[in-house]
Structure 1
Amino acid sequence: VKEMIEYIQDTAQKAGLKREIPVHVLIETHGALAEVEQIAQLPWLQVLDFGLMDFISGHFGAIPLACMKSPGQFEHELLRRAKANMVAAALAHGIVPAHNVTLDLKNYDQTLADARRARYEFGFMRMWSIYPTQIDAIVEAMKPDHSEVEKGVAVLVAAQDANWGPIQHEGELHDRATYRGFWTLVQRARVTGLEVGAEAEKRWFANH
């Protein structure tokens, strides 16, 4: 991977390009998983993609082929470990972790369920689609929960009014750690088309 990125950088320089070329790396082998921490630190890398099917076939029967679909893809211990390790490495270095596709092409509900498990159990921030009907299901699953967004806005408003010191909101303590988490949530909500409310728009997004 390092050699390929260096080749891309060299080619871009020779072509007179002044910008980075976004690089996706597919993690689908034992070797790639073993080196995922080092791979995630490489320049120009933006996304780590998990390649489920090749990863399973590379185990030569140790992982049942049924695990290419749910529920096995989320429950077999070797797959859970692989996905968790890849996501942890990606997030630690500011890289987007992307989940593998759902093989059931036209089943909206299955794609939705898979995307939700990928997002909320493992921390994947994106998921690949290979059929048009999968796109809406993935976007829906990756959206923040609206009630959490409302709570996040309320906490951030109170925190800003308190000059970002610790506050109590509905009996819970909040400080800069939770403010950072809620701010990320509110930003994600806006990007995915959720309403964040007039107060949030006025305070934080009026000049955007």
Structure 2
Amino acid sequence: MSTQPPAQADRSFNRSMLIKLFVVALMMFGFGFALVPMYRAICQITGINNLVQRDATVREAKNTQVDMSRTISIELDANARGPLGFKPEQRSLDVHPGEVTTVMYEVSNEQARSIQAQAIPSYAPKQATEYFKKIECFCFTQQTLKANETKRMPVVFVVDPKLPKDVKTITLSYTFFELNTPATAKVGSAALPAETGATAANPA
């Protein structure tokens, strides 16, 4: 019974590992690319956090009665997945229910190539979701960022005066995903943690 020489066995092992890493990288790329479409489909079915429709029209917002007797603290959070710098221009503010408010976020493409990205909103506490009405938001559409480009993007919103009285604070959080990450980059990133122990850092 013949056996493979050590050098040939090593080459076979390396080739097998390379194929496995490539398959894993393709799976990671496919899953990452599918996140936003999957989220949009779920939103369309459930009606929660819809990315493609405004939560309230401008006319409805302007006609909303402002409740000056209440003050709601709005906390702003930002997270990024991919080569993006992403942050709110202010961390918190106080608003009155029914008051139309604008806040600004800043996103930066930190790579020397153009990218497509999509922001996904979330809220805390969960019960506040249906009362936080976005009139304008960068999350409604995919964003194209040129190489090393920085954008300032507004969110115009109003808190429904019907918000339960026990809710004093609402946290608005966005996560920005890059949509067109090259598969070759995924291969490199898949190998990086095992070889160097590096971990990805999220911008504040």
| TM bracket, shorter-chain basis | under 0.3
- Structure number with the bigger relative contact order (C-alpha 8 A, sep ≥ 6) is 2
Structure 1 or 2: more strand by fraction: 2
- Give the TM-score taking structure 2 as reference length: 0.19
- Give the TM-score taking structure 1 as reference length: 0.19
- For the pair shown, the structure with the greater C-alpha radius of gyration is 2
